[in-house]
């Protein structure tokens, strides 16, 4: 039986795979997450996911390795994790009142088999006040999340509506991953 290896330290991805009833191990290696200038956002997420999976696959040649990368895109600009509180505030101000995309790139490697895909969900924020933004950033929740918010936490109060896979916004389109893994095992 092939083991499933998650090439991510994200507690949200770990939680989603556990919720889906999958048994897995975690192995994470540092990778260069730089992307060539002009790369489309969905492609950028897939490239980074593939780098994460490939970095771990070398020591798990007969296992199923999952790499993932989630990005937020607003106005054509990719928003990663904030550098500091001021950066988090600027991102939330940018997202205030607008619809944006959350894209998770996924790469699943198993021996010679490789599957990569990107899932796109849309999120619309309420118009946020200065105090709402400051208060949310003060919780420190935004600091390790792309786009400076977590929909599964206090960030849920910022969201007016979503279109697409909720779990993709959390960090992993788990139903699609589950189905693809079961085809490989």
Catalytic residue among 69, 127, 131, 165: 69
Active site residue 131: no
Contact status, residue 75 vs residue 37, Cβ threshold 8 Å: no
User: 127: buried, middle or exposed (CB in 10 Å: 19+, 13-18, 0-12)?
Assistant: exposed
**Which three-class secondary structure state does DSSP give residue 162?**
strand
Residue 118 near residue 68, CB atoms below 8 Å: no
**Segment holding 54, helix H or strand E:** helix 41-57
Cα–Cα distance list, 39 to 47, 77, 149 (Å): 10, 11, 24
Return the active site residues. Answer: 69
């Amino acid at each position: 039986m092939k083991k499933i290896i998650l090439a991510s330290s994200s507690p949200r991805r770990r939680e989603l795979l556990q919720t889906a009833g999958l048994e897995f191990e975690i192995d994470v290696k540092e990778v260069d997450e730089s992307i060539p200038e002009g790369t489309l956002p969905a492609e950028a997420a897939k490239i980074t996911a593939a780098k994460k999976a490939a970095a771990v696959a070398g020591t798990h040649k007969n296992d199923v390795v999952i790499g993932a990368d989630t990005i937020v895109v607003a106005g054509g600009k990719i928003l990663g994790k904030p550098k500091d509180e001021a950066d988090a505030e600027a991102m939330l101000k940018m997202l205030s009142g607008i619809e944006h995309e959350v894209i998770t790139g996924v790469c699943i490697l198993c021996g010679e088999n490789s599957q990569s895909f990107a899932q796109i969900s849309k999120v619309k924020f309420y118009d946020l006040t200065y105090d709402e933004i400051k208060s949310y950033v003060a919780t420190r929740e935004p600091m390790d999340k792309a786009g400076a918010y977590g929909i599964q936490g206090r960030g849920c109060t910022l969201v007016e509506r979503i279109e697409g896979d909720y779990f993709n916004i959390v960090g992993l389109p788990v139903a699609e991953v589950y189905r693809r893994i079961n085809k490989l095992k």
